[in-house]
Amino acid sequence: MSTIQALRGTKDILPTDIGYWQHLEATARQVLAQAAFQEIRTPIFEQTELFARGIGEATDVVGKEMYTFSDRGDRSITLRPEGTAGAVRSFIENKLYGAGGIQRLWYSGPMFRYERPQAGRQRQFHQIGAEVLGSADPRAEVEASAVAGNLLTAVGVKSLKLALNSVGDREDRQRYREKLVEYLTPYKDELDPDSKDRLTRNPLRILDAKVERTREICVDAPSILDVLSAASAESFETEKQGLTTMGIDNTLDNRLVRGLDYYTHTAFEIQSDDLGAQATVCGGGRYDGLVAELGGPETSAVGWAMGMERLILLLQAIQPLPEPSVDFYVVSRGDRAEIQALGVAQTLRQAGYSVEVDLSGSAFGKQFKRGDRAGAKACAILGDAEADNNTVQIKWLNSGEQTEVSQVELLETAKNFHTQNFNN
Ligand code: ATP
Ligand code: MG
């Protein structure tokens, strides 16, 4: 019979790598809590319409990357391709705006996009994201990007760049759109097919194209920063000042765009030179129109999302994982000793230690070798003599020192192990 393999674009995260994920997740939880963000967990599938409206029909994500299917009740359902739409749906549905003030939310989990798999690009991948809902103040952008920066620093990834742009407000963008189309139209036949198509549907996204000739054409395109209204320019200025004050280096990139109507003002990306073609680790910006677009009250908002796989690729290149280890490895031989060994393991765990029990039933020598490989600090040993006397031998592997302890007194005795043998 043929074996069954994981689907293309999906990956198992094996115990050999899980340490990176746990490190990233624990750090995220801590850094986001420090900045007063609260975690939200929304469903992995939603009505297709949420994403169609929330991300926009004109985007690649909705146009060609979604995992959409009919369920048994003939509803059109989509596996979430990103986290913002679900968070905003929940914000509206649960009236989180009713709490007044500003909501700072974060999430993490798997996302699904039907893309061509390559390094740093999968069909099931994972993101950590954060949203600040309810503030139009440019300081919200500074706070949001600062917390993203804090997370990346705390995780330990280096040499990242923050690229920044403003896409203005609705009117700025309308004005810019006209200028851009005017500039690009004479080059129409030289654009790649996707970009040609976008010329009428979503021209700002052409600036984001990956095709060489299209990029060349865009080099001399007008800059959106030149058409910003005085108010938009001022708000962008405040944000740049905020970033500088917080010591966050940034470069302007006037081709960085979010092509949808409800994206406003700031767009930013955090990139790394060490990731090849998939250089963007984090993308974010302000999306003042989205909450209203999805049926909620007018609510300003800003957020970002990070690709966890790409972060972990960076981490793997710079930080080896510590070898896994346990405090105690329990070896035993003989029917009664083998049963008592299970009780000994429970007692040691109760005292706060990590404990692995050898279940092989093989000779003592082999069990000791496995204890070594498990990185144990000590072995707890039970043979027939220990079983008769209700005792256990504790052998410290670094010193070779061995003591006999009564099983009845093990819990009390084990509490003192800390000072004796775990401090060196
Ligand atoms: P890209 O241009 O790389 O396709 P994107 O603009 O589609 O990125 P966003 O929707 O902004 O990406 O998602 C935020 C982050 O999530 C990206 O910067 C990236 O780190 C990560 N990401 C997006 N798609 C994938 C994927 N298919 N596999 C792994 N990570 C991804
Ligand atoms: Mg993409």
Could you tell me the CA-to-CA distances from 274 to 158, 216, 234, 279 in Å, in that order? 10, 24, 34, 7
User: pTM for this structure?
Assistant: 0.90
Contact 98, 292 (CB under 8 A): no
* Ligand 1 contact via 307 beta carbon (within 6 Å): yes
Interatomic CA distance for residues 357 and 328, integer angstroms: 8
Q: Ligand 1 pocket check: which of 10, 278, 313, 314 to mutate, most ligand atoms within 8 Å of Cβ? A: 278
335 is written with which tokens?
């029917």
* Ligand 1 contact via 86 beta carbon (within 6 Å): no
Query: Which residue has tokens 């690229």?
Result: 163
Please choose, from the candidates 368, 274, 295, the residue with its C-alpha nearest in 3D space to the C-alpha of residue 330: 368
What's the fold here for domain 328-418? Rossmann fold (3.40.50)
Interatomic CA distance for residues 228 and 170, integer angstroms: 10
49 is written with which tokens?
């319409």
Contact 77, 48 (CB under 8 A): yes
Contact 126, 148 (CB under 8 A): no
Interatomic CA distance for residues 352 and 11, integer angstroms: 34
* Ligand 1 contact via 80 beta carbon (within 6 Å): no
CATH class held by domain 15-169+229-318: alpha beta
139 C-alpha to ligand 1 centroid (Å): 25
* Ligand 1 contact via 281 beta carbon (within 6 Å): yes
* Ligand 1 contact via 310 beta carbon (within 6 Å): yes
Smallest CA separation from ligand 1 atom 16, residue? 307
Smallest CA separation from ligand 1 atom 29, residue? 121
* Ligand 1 contact via 286 beta carbon (within 6 Å): no
88 is written with which tokens?
């905003």
Provide the residue-wise pLDDT of the chain in tens; the chain has 424 residues. Answer: 899 999 999 999 999 999 999 999 999 999 999 999 999 999 999 999 999 999 988 788 998 999 999 999 999 999 999 999 999 999 999 999 987 789 999 999 999 999 999 999 999 999 999 999 999 999 999 999 999 999 999 999 887 889 999 999 889 999 999 999 999 999 999 999 989 988 988 898 899 888 999 999 999 999 999 999 999 999 899 888 888 887 778 899 988 886 666 788 999 999 988 888 888 999 999 999 999 999 999 999 999 999 999 999 999 999 888 888 999 999 999 999 999 999 999 999 999 999 999 999 999 999 999 999 999 999 999 999 999 999 999 999 999 999 999 999 999 999 888 655 665 4
Ligand 1 atom closest to residue 279's alpha carbon, by position in its atom list: 3
Ligand 1 atom closest to residue 123's alpha carbon, by position in its atom list: 27
Domain residue ranges in the chain: 15-169+229-318, 328-418
